[in-house]
C-alpha cells in the first residue's frame, strides 16, 4: 500500500504562521480565564464507550470515533454486537470527561470548582469551513454553584476573552431548556416527543419556519399543534430583548411557564448587560436548542456576523454528574469554538500585537566608574525599568544568604556604604 503525504480527511497540518496565532490566542484565553479564577485541568483523550454513549450527547453520539478492543479481548468470530468489539471512544466534547473527572475527584476539589480545559476532541462529522474531525475546544465550567452567578460569570468571562481577541459587535444568544419545554407543552406536544421536536427546531436557521413545519408534519405530529407551536416563534421574531421576550412568553403561556424560570433568565440578562467588558449584544433566541441532551436549564451561544455560524456555546447541565455518582451536582459551562476563532483571525489578516523589545546593557569587569554612570543613564533613558550592576546583584545574593543562615536581616544602607555601592 502506497504512503500518503496528505493528512486524514477532516484533519489538518498546522503551519508555523497559524501556529503562532494559535499560541497567542491560547495565551489570551488562559490569562483571561485565570484572572476570573478558573483552574486548568486535563483529562484523557479517550473515555469508556459507555460514558460517551449514554444518550446525553445528542447527535454527537452518532459521530464517535470508536476504538476496537485489543489482543485477546477482541474476538471477531464470537462477536454479536458492538459492545463485543468496542470498549473505548475518542471524546467528542470536554463536558462528559469533566463530569467523570469531578465524580472521581470531588473530595479533592473546592466547592464551587471552576475548571478550565483546552484540548482536542474528535467527531466523525462531515468536514466543512471551520469544522474538522479533530479540533480544539476551550471550556470553562463552574461545578457546585446552583445560582445564576454561574451563568453570569461564564458569559462575562467568555465575552471578555472574545473582546480581548479583537472581536466586536458579536451576539450572545440565550434561551432556557425549560422555556422550550413550556412552549412545546402549550402547543399540545407530548413530553416523550420533546427531544425529537427540538432536534427539528434546531434546524430553523437552515431550513426556516416552513421547513420546520414540513419536517414536523412528516414525523406525524398533529397539524394543530405544529401551527400553534410555530405561531409562537412568528410572534417572537421581533422581540430580541430578553426581558421583553420572556415577559411576552409568560403572558402567552400562562401556567405552562414557571415564574421562577422567567425571572431567572431575566435576572441573568440584566446582570450580564450591567457588567459586560466587551462590545456585544445579548439576544433572546427562542429557537436556540443546543444539540446536547444533557442541558437542563439556561443555554447560550456565540454568534459572529463574519462567520454566519456559532463560534461557541454552552449551558447548564445539573443532571450529568449524577449519572456517575447517583447524586446530582449543579453544573454550568461555556465552550469557545477555537478553530472558528482561528479561521476568522486568519482570514482577516490578523497580526499578533508586538511585544515590547527588551534591551540589555552589558559592561566588562573593572569598567571605569565615571563611564558606568553614563551607561546606566542611557539604560534609564531607553526605558529600562531596573538597572543593576554586578556589585549590586552580589549584595542582593549576600543579603539572602545571611537571612537564610542567621535568620536576621542586614541593614542594606550599611552594606552599600561599606562596599562603596
Of the listed ranges 58-72, 176-190, 212-226, the least confidently predicted one is 58-72
The pLDDT tens digits for 12-25 are 999 999 999 999 99
Mean pLDDT of 284-301: 90
CATH class of the 16-347 domain in this structure? alpha beta
Backbone angles phi, psi at 342, to 5 degrees: -60, -45
Strand blocks (E) in 293-414: 298-304, 309-316, 331-337
Q: Which residues pair with 120 in a beta bridge?
A: 136
- DSSP character for 58? G
Strand blocks (E) in 205-272: none
* pLDDT above 90 (res 382): no
* pLDDT above 80 (res 283): yes
β-strand pairing of 170-176 with 298-304: antiparallel
Q: Which residues of 150-171 are buried (b: 16+ CB within 10 A; e: fewer)?
A: bbbbbbbbbbbbbbebebeebb
Which of the pair, 198 or 361, is modelled with greater confidence? 198
Look over the chain and give the mean of its residue pLDDT values, rounded to a whole number. 88
Q: What is the pTM of this model?
A: 0.81
pLDDT confidence band for 380 (50 / 70 / 90): confident
* pLDDT above 70 (res 331): yes
The phi-psi region of residue 43 (left if phi > 0; otherwise alpha if psi is between -120 and 50; otherwise beta) is beta
Cα separation, 317 vs 303, in Å, equals 21
The pLDDT tens digits for 106-147 are 999 999 999 999 999 999 988 877 778 999 999 999 999 999
Cα separation, 388 vs 317, in Å, equals 55
What pLDDT shows up at residue 384?
A: 67
pLDDT confidence band for 85 (50 / 70 / 90): confident
Contact 239, 248 (CB under 8 A): yes
* pLDDT above 90 (res 413): no
Contact 134, 120 (CB under 8 A): yes
Instruction: State the Cα angle at 283 between 229 and 189, rounded to 5°.
Output: 15
Contact 297, 318 (CB under 8 A): yes
Residue owning grid cell 531596573: 386
The pLDDT tens digits for 46-77 are 999 999 987 776 777 888 999 998 887 888 77
* pLDDT above 80 (res 178): yes
Choose among 21, 7, 16: nearest CA to 350: 21
Cα separation, 398 vs 411, in Å, equals 12
What pLDDT shows up at residue 369?
A: 65
What pLDDT shows up at residue 394?
A: 66
What are the residue ranges spanned by the domains of the chain?
16-347, 369-419
pLDDT confidence band for 399 (50 / 70 / 90): confident
pLDDT confidence band for 420 (50 / 70 / 90): low
Backbone angles phi, psi at 6, to 5 degrees: -90, 150
Cα separation, 421 vs 406, in Å, equals 24
The Cα-based distances of 284 to 14, 130, 167 in angstroms read 37, 25, 21
The pLDDT tens digits for 226-239 are 999 999 999 998 89
The Cα-based distances of 108 to 104, 376, 400 in angstroms read 9, 51, 36
Mean pLDDT of 317-337: 95
Contact 341, 25 (CB under 8 A): yes
Amino acid at each position: 500500500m502506497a504512503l500518503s503525504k496528505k493528512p486524514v480527511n477532516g484533519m489538518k497540518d498546522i503551519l508555523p504562521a497559524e501556529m503562532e496565532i494559535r499560541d497567542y490566542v491560547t495565551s489570551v484565553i488562559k490569562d483571561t480565564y485565570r484572572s476570573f479564577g478558573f483552574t486548568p485541568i486535563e483529562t484523557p483523550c479517550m473515555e469508556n464507550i459507555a460514558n460517551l454513549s449514554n444518550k446525553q450527547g445528542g447527535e454527537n453520539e452518532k459521530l464517535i470515533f470508536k476504538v476496537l478492543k485489543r489482543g485477546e479481548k477482541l474476538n471477531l468470530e464470537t462477536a454479536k454486537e458492538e459492545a463485543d468489539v468496542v470498549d473505548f471512544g475518542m471524546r467528542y466534547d470536554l463536558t462528559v470527561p469533566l463530569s467523570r473527572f469531578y465524580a472521581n475527584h470531588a473530595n479533592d476539589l473546592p466547592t464551587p470548582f471552576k475548571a478550565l480545559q483546552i484540548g482536542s476532541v474528535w467527531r466523525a462529522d462531515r468536514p466543512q469551513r471551520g469544522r474538522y474531525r479533530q479540533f480544539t475546544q476551550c471550556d470553562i465550567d463552574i461545578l457546585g454553584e446552583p445560582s445564576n452567578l454561574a451563568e453570569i460569570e461564564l458569559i462575562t468571562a467568555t465575552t471578555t476573552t472574545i473582546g480581548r481577541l479583537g472581536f466586536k459587535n458579536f451576539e450572545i444568544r440565550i434561551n432556557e431548556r425549560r422555556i422550550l419545554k413550556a412552549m412545546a407543552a402549550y402547543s399540545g406536544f407530548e413530553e416523550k416527543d420533546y427531544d425529537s421536536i427540538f432536534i427539528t427546531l434546531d434546524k430553523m436557521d437552515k431550513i426556516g419556519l416552513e421547513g420546520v413545519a414540513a419536517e414536523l408534519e412528516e414525523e406525524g405530529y398533529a397539524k394543530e399543534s405544529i401551527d400553534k407551536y410555530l405561531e409562537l416563534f412568528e410572534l417572537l421574531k421581533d422581540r430580541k430583548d430578553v426581558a421583553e421576550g420572556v415577559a411576552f412568553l409568560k403572558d402567552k403561556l400562562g401556567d405552562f411557564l414557571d415564574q421562577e424560570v422567567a425571572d431567572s433568565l431575566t435576572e441573568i440578562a440584566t446582570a450580564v448587560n450591567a457588567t459586560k467588558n466587551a462590545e456585544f449584544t445579548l439576544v433572546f433566541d427562542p429557537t436556540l436548542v443546543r444539540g446536547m441532551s444533557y442541558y437542563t436549564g439556561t443555554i447560550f451561544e456565540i454568534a459572529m456576523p463574519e462567520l454566519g455560524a456559532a463560534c461557541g456555546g454552552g449551558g447548564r447541565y445539573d443532571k450529568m454528574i449524577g449519572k456517575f455518582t447517583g447524586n446530582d451536582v449543579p453544573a454550568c459551562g461555556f465552550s469557545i469554538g477555537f478553530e472558528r476563532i482561528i479561521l476568522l483571525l486568519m482570514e482577516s489578516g490578523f497580526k499578533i500585537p508586538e511585544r515590547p523589545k527588551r534591551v540589555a546593557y552589558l559592561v566588562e569587569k573593572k569598567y571605569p566608574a565615571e563611564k558606568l554612570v553614563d551607561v546606566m543613564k542611557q539604560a534609564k533613558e531607553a526605558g529600562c525599568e531596573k538597572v543593576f550592576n554586578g556589585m549590586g546583584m552580589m549584595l542582593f545574593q549576600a543579603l539572602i544568604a545571611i537571612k537564610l543562615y542567621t535568620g536576621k536581616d542586614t541593614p542594606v544602607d550599611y552594606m552599600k556604604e561599606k562596599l562603596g555601592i
